[in-house]
Amino acid sequence: MTARTVADMRAHFDLTRAMAAAPLDLQVGPVTLRILCEGTLREALADYFKDAVATVVAPDITVHVVEGQLPVPAPVWQDWAREPGKTGRKDAIFDLRDGRLIHKWRTGVTFLQSPDLLVAFGPVSAHPNQVVNFINTQVLNHGQRMGWQICHAAAVTRGARTLAIAGLSGGGKSTSILRLMDVPGTAFMTNDRLLATSDDSGARGLGIPKHPRINPGTILGNGRLHGMLSTARIAELRAMPERDLWELEEKHDLMIPDIYGENRIAYAGPLTDFWVLNWQRDADKATMIEEVDLAQRPDLLSAIMKSPGPFYQYPDGRFLHDNEAPDPQGYLAALRNVRVQEVTGQVNFDAIAYFGRELFDA
């Protein structure tokens, strides 16, 4: 590939059809976006993001989505190192002088990330979820450039209180958050990525418009969700050993309005409470919740911190590298006005629901 700058890539793309399509404008808390995309994919994105659709005059972020247009020959890709415990090739990068190309090995979808031009290209229509992720990544990037910290957490909000829940992957944060959606008046903020910041007036949280992708164990444990699976599949799951069910990876998209009704999403709110799940399935002690000092518990802080990944570009133009770790001090500052509690003992989602009702009704 001969392209070495964003200008070279701009000359490579034909963006006319995307730019001629009706713009899809979104607002996520203080962040505004414009999506330029044509055809049935635009319709799919409009349906997915319908709770964030807004009238925007001057968007903070503009994303172009075009079918095909992969560079030939392909760049010499450099694999992005995966997090500990993850295996297989996922992302690869090719750095331009003033931007970065990010390639998804599994799907072939590719992205141009730069301050001046954002493009999702390749077989995008076949993989709309990756376009959704790219759009949400821009919200996260924008927030981080404003000094917010990205947390690996889910969150619900009601009035003046927002509860975020973190834990190791597969630790139950999605299941916990969905149980808390049964508390009257709560609204879904985010399922896996939360931006947090603090100032003299308190702490704030900002989610992203990404609906939960949940495993069968979450569905089986919540009667409200059973309609997402066939009766036969539910019977198969009930017959599985509990350990196998817990570890089963079989993602299903849960569209919040379809399950919980309209007006049950709020992307921004005051951040007041943070629970870190440090429980065990085989524990013989009852589920407990106790306040902790994150500065004294680096093990719990590590469950909250999340690398922005290959898409993040610092305000000075420098891109993140895969050997850079998040800064603990930034997180301690962002969460200084938040009550942090540790959940220990048995894995018990009924207990989580009980503690959550007490929290929101206090």
State pLDDT tens for residues 160-210.
Answer: 999 999 996 568 899 999 999 999 999 999 999 999 999 988 999 999 999
Helices (H), 24-163: 39-48, 128-145
Collapsed DSSP state (helix, strand, coil) of residue 288 = strand
Residue 105 has pLDDT above 90, yes or no: yes
- State residue 217's pLDDT score: 87
- pLDDT confidence of residue 169: 58
For residues 172 and 52, the model is more confident at 52
CATH 3.90.228.20 fits 149-212+254-361, yes or no: yes
Provide the pLDDT for residue 242: 83
Please tell me the predicted confidence (pLDDT) of residue 249: 85
Cβ proximity of 55 and 38 under 8 Å: no
The backbone region for 309, taken as left when phi is positive above 0, alpha when psi lies in -120 to 50, beta otherwise, is left
Report helix angle 349-361 to 173-180, nearest 10: 50
Q: What residue spans in the chain does CATH classification 3.90.228.20 cover?
A: 149-212+254-361
133 has a pLDDT exceeding 70 = yes
Residue 91 has pLDDT above 80, yes or no: yes
- Whether the per-residue pLDDT at 362 is higher than 90: the answer is no
Task: Determine the residue type at 294.
Answer: L
What does the pLDDT average to over 264-293? 95
Q: Comparing 119-128, 266-275, 319-328, which segment has the lowest mean pLDDT?
A: 319-328
Q: Can you tell me the distance from the alpha carbon of 262 to that of 273, in angstroms, rounded to the nearest whole number?
A: 25
Residue spans of beta strands (DSSP E) within the chain = 24-28, 31-36, 61-65, 78-79, 91-95, 100-104, 110-113, 119-121, 149-151, 153-158, 161-167, 187-190, 194-199, 202-206, 213-214, 252-253, 268-270, 273-277, 288-291, 339-344
What pLDDT sits at residue 89? 86
To the nearest whole percent, how much of the chain has pLDDT over 70? 99
CB 61: neighbour CB atoms within 10 A? 18
Residues of the chain with pLDDT > 90: what percent? 85
Question: Which pTM was predicted?
Answer: 0.94
| Residue 305 pLDDT > 70 | yes
- Return the closest-CA partner of residue 121 out of 150, 101, 137, 144: 101
Say whether pLDDT at 350 is over 90.
Answer: yes
Work out the mean pLDDT of the chain and round it to a whole number.
Answer: 94
**pLDDT (mean) for 332-352:** 96
Determine the average pLDDT of the residues in 296-303.
95
Q: Pairing between strand 273-277 and 161-167? A: parallel
pLDDT at residue 324, as a whole number = 92
Phi, psi of 192 (to 5 degrees): -150, -15
Phi and psi at 234, nearest 5°, equal: -60, -40
Per-residue pLDDT at 264: 96
pLDDT of residue 157: 98
